Structure 1
Amino acid sequence: MTAHPVKHPVSLGGIHHAAYRCKDAKETVEWYGRVLGMDYTTAFAEDHVPSTGAYDPYMHVFLDAGNGNVLAFFELPHQKDMGRDENTPAWVQHLAFKVASEEELLAAKAHVEAQGIEVLGPTHHGIFKSIYFFDPNGHRVELAADIGTDEQYAELKRVAPMMLDEWSQTKKAPRHADWLHQIAREQNGIEAN
Structure 2
Amino acid sequence: MEIKGIHHVSAITANAKENYHFYTEVLGMRLVKKTVNQDDTSVYHLFYADEVGNPGTDLTFFEIPNAGTTYPGISSISGTSLRVPNDAALSYWQERFDNNGVEHHGISTQGDRKVIHFRDPEKQRLTLISDENNQGVPSGKPWAKSRASIEHGITGLGPSKLTVQNPDPTVKVLTDLLTFTQTGSYPSSIEGQEDILVFSTGEGGNGAEIHLEVRNDLPRERPGRGSVHHVAFRVENKEELAEWRDRLRQARIPNSGLVDRFYFQSLYFREPNGILFELATDGPGFATDEDVEHLGESLALPPFFEEQRTEIEAKLKPLDTKQP
Name the TM tier (shorter chain).
Answer: 0.5 to 0.7
Give every structure 1 segment of 4 or more consecutive aligned residues whose post-TM-superposition deviation is greater than 3 Å: 5-9, 11-16
Contact 2:169 2:273 in 1 (8 A): no
Contact 2:230 2:277 in 1 (8 A): yes
Q: Secondary structure at the match of 1:32?
A: helix
Separation in 2 of the partners of 1:80 and 1:7? 38
Question: C-alpha separation between the residues in 1 aligned to 2:192 and 2:258?
Answer: 41
Distance 1:11 1:120, change over 3 A: same
1:35 and 1:154, CA in 2 relative to 1: closer, same or farther beyond 3 A?
same
Question: Contact between 1:43 and 1:61, CA under 8 Å: does it hold in 2?
Answer: yes
The yes-or-no answer on 1:42 pairing with 2:184 is: yes
- Correspondences of 1:113-132 after superposition (within 5 Å): 113-132=249-268
Structure number with higher helix proportion: 1
Q: Which structure 2 segments of 5+ residues have no match?
A: 1-144, 309-324
Over residues 118-149 of structure 1, what are the superposed CA-to-partner deviations in whole Å (9 max), with x where a residue is unaligned? 11031111121100000122111100113426
Counterpart AA for 1:75: V
Q: 3-state DSSP class of the match of 1:82?
A: coil
Q: Distance in 1 between matches of 2:151 and 2:268?
A: 37
> Structure 1 regions of 5+ residues with no counterpart?
164-173, 187-191
1:108 aligns with 2:244: yes
- 2:171 aligns with 29
- Aligned residue for 2:197, secondary structure, equals strand
1:29-57: CA deviation from partner (whole Å, max 9, x where unpaired): 222111212111112355xx3xxxx5332
The match for 1:70 among 206, 209, 212 is 209
TM-score (norm 1): 0.68
C-alpha spacing 1:156/1:130, structure 2 compared with 1 (3 Å): farther
Determine which of 207, 212, 220 is the counterpart of 1:82. Answer: 220
Tell me the residue number matched to 2:229. Answer: 93
Q: What SS does the aligned partner of 1:10 have? A: coil
CA distance in 1: counterparts of 2:178 and 2:267, whole angstroms: 13
1:139-183 Cα offsets, whole Å, 9 max, x none, are 1110011342685276266231x23xxxxxxxxxx3xx24xx11x
Task: Give the aligned CA root-mean-square deviation in angstroms.
Answer: 3.0
More strand by proportion, 1 or 2? 2
Deviates more, 1:115-124 or 1:13-22: 13-22
Aligned to 1:61: 197
2:238 and 2:305 map into 1 onto residues whose CA distance is 18
Looking at structure 2, the residues matched to 56 and 33 of structure 1 have their Cα atoms a distance apart, in angstroms, of: 26
Q: Distance in 1 between matches of 2:252 and 2:150?
A: 48
Cα pair distance change 1:150/1:94, threshold 3 Å: closer
| Residues 113 and 59 of structure 1, relative CA distance in 2, 3 Å threshold | farther
Offset of residue 96 of structure 1: 0.3
Q: Which residue of 1 aligns with 2:160?
A: 18
TM-score between the two structures when normalised by the length of structure 2? 0.43
1:94 counterpart letter in structure 2: H
Whole-angstrom distance in 2 between the partners of 1:115 and 1:185: 34
Q: What letter is aligned with 1:41?
A: T
Q: Distance in 1 between matches of 2:285 and 2:270?
A: 30
CA distance in 2, matches of 1:26, 1:55: 22
SS in 1 for 2:192: strand
Shift of 1:14: 4.7
Work out which of the two has the higher radius of gyration on C-alpha atoms and give 1 or 2: 1
